[in-house]
Structure 1
């Protein structure tokens, strides 16, 4: 009996458990298999199964080489050897300085700092990507003080969105915070401006985290009751209603903080930490130590595992949780495809 003679339900079950790379090759087996692998229900099931398997817990690590080129690596946090896989940076060379924003459902968002004029959505597993131009028609870039980019997934509309926060020239805390926000919808392939009810300021060029499809930033709002005139808050974006929310920043005991500088603490365990980079799904913490050394710290066991990436500049690491998928966005094209 050939594979094509197997019951469709069994074929569906078997294929849904294979890695993306294998499925990409299997598209050429037959037209029915191609149709199945491109079916949205199959893609959704495959993504859910991949995400539920702890062996697939991974992070994308974005770093800068000694020769000033970005390196994109994939680290499976539960692997034995702790050796990241080099993804050979699958973007055209015209984007050598793209910055990592975040990832959701296997789609990685990259922006081009400092003004974010170009944004790229990339699926590293299928090597498909789409370049998106920032709207930026209602103001002069010379008036922009800073730009921050967030990546969003709207599960109700099944839409991937990009949020661009632009702060116009200001000097905190004396001046009024002026903020403009643009939102891109991949489903509609269009940008729009949205109003911000309470002006806020975020200093990072990307969101701090993406939780359940919503981006979060640490930011500031004006507060005359504070001695400094500003108050720290969490800024979050609601993907369905396309509005921002502000949450107070809780206070933590000193021993549970992670601060920059050698000799500080992660949890109650003293480690020489320069930068906290990413919190993994399994609870481990990816951090950079002295001399640019990357490591995973397990707060449950207090274990430390060194992560080796060759010839990388210190303080250049950025990372985000990642789950490989077959997800594709309208307008994506294969790396190397012309037009």
Structure 2
């Protein structure tokens, strides 16, 4: 899926330079602009390793301009290639690996997923030194199996268990898919993870560079959940998190107070902004064309009973909320009957509406302030997908270059909807069929317990989880 609002850099021209890099073995005499073009086409893992070739290569990779070029190349390349996606696996046994999330690469076909990064934490997660990010090989996809098996007994899972501090991890769980909480949010190669049990805790991670940081504590929510958006400022490229929270709310949704705050990565504290005018209902929200969108309960008190659903738009430039037109079917709903999801689909705002147990409708809007010809954005039915069975949750997460939409169903199955043929294709059962490799020689052994798998569209980047 394209994410134009998260790019923040536009088309970055490549400077015409012919200065040669300093001699470094076989690399001696290669013009710098040629080196740059070669490096830009490599995976992030390889780019980080090639920093050791010479001082000039290291300086090139560290340069902010190169980071922007790499991001631009990575995001545009996904439009012409098979989908790039990550599976986030979490084991739901308190005694086993609690507080561990594994990021697996999956090409969108077959039954094999390779480990990209394993993330564990204690009460506070220290951000990695960005200069040493390439040395974090414990969760690599190479043959560094010693990092996975410190007991040398051949059981690669032992080290996964030993690396976790179980007493400090009870606050974390990204997998309550049944009610849509804790869904990871991706922007420019960074992944935002939010806690379900402790509404003041969040993590941001770059699976490609293996950087991880715990964000400063945000304001706690009355219901203990988090409504977050993740975006890159268009003019500067700085990555920011916006957080809506409920100060208090009664059972009828008529007496409430809602607040909002923004954090720039690397900043020591959240900054308050204007309060939302209505009660925010959904959690992880997309950023599209300069706006973040939330399902809300209308109207605000004391004008009447809060029973009607609507949509709010948070402008990332002005940092103010405005009302946004709703899909036509929402006008006939009550707020307690709303189970929809907002996401992004091919550069448009998408409302995922499930009118039946086995059916989902995708409604899209331009998400622009004014369409050509006036009148503002309008919603239209993009497609209707009927699955071969009923489901509890369904979430479209990427749009491939061949015109197919991938769905995560119940945090367990991946389906693909072929728009041209109008048929649903079963891709893989992530619980029963998928083989998860932690290296080229070891696969992840599954024990009894509950697994859930989140899926996200993903583009690798060199962006730091610190200020960028």
TM-score range, shorter chain: 0.7 to 0.9
In structure 2, the residue matched to 1:306 is 427
> How do residues 157-196 of structure 1 correspond to structure 2 at under 5 angstroms?
157-173=236-252, 175-186=254-265, 188-196=267-275
Contact 2:87 2:454 in 1 (8 A): yes
Indicate yes or no: 2:93 matched with 1:67.
Answer: yes
In structure 2, the residue matched to 1:202 is 280
CA distance in 2, matches of 1:153, 1:142: 24
CA distance in 2, matches of 1:155, 1:265: 33
Q: 1:47 aligns with which of 56, 63, 71?
A: 71
Moved more, 91-100 or 186-195: 91-100
CA distance in 1, matches of 2:319, 2:76: 29
1:124 Cα deviation (Å)? 0.3
Query: Deviation string for 1:288-316 (max 9, x for gaps)?
Result: 16x943323333332413224346847x4
CA distance in 1, matches of 2:187, 2:312: 19
Q: 1:287 aligns with which of 405, 408, 415?
A: 408
Indicate yes or no: 2:355 matched with 1:264.
Answer: no
Query: Deviation string for 1:65-94 (max 9, x for gaps)?
Result: 3536554444555x4426333334323245
Indicate yes or no: 2:343 matched with 1:239.
Answer: no
In structure 2, the residue matched to 1:337 is none
Paired residue total? 322
CA distance in 2, matches of 1:171, 1:326: 45
1:115 Cα deviation (Å)? 3.6
Contact 2:102 2:115 in 1 (8 A): yes
Q: Which sections of structure 1, spanning at least 5 residues, go unmatched? A: 333-339
> How do residues 312-327 of structure 1 correspond to structure 2 at under 5 angstroms?
313=450, 316-327=452-463
CA distance in 2, matches of 1:43, 1:111: 26
CA distance in 2, matches of 1:184, 1:223: 26
Dislocated runs of 4+, deviation >6 Å: none
Indicate yes or no: 2:213 matched with 1:130.
Answer: yes
Contact 2:198 2:224 in 1 (8 A): no
Q: Normalized against structure 1, the TM-score is what?
A: 0.81
In structure 2, the residue matched to 1:276 is 394
1:329 Cα deviation (Å)? 3.6
Q: Which sections of structure 2, spanning at least 5 residues, go unmatched? A: 1-24, 122-163, 175-181, 331-350, 362-382, 432-445
Contact 1:214 1:236 in 2 (8 A): yes
Query: Deviation string for 1:12-56 (max 9, x for gaps)?
Result: 111111111111111112111111111111111111111112326
More strand per residue: 1 or 2? 1
For the pair shown, which has the larger CA radius of gyration, 1 or 2? 2
Contact 1:208 1:218 in 2 (8 A): no
1:330 Cα deviation (Å)? 2.9
SS of the residue aligned with 1:150? strand
Q: Give the aligned CA root-mean-square deviation in angstroms.
A: 3.4
1:317 Cα deviation (Å)? 4.0
CA distance in 2, matches of 1:234, 1:202: 9
1:276 Cα deviation (Å)? 1.6
SS of the residue aligned with 2:35? helix
SS of the residue aligned with 2:227? strand
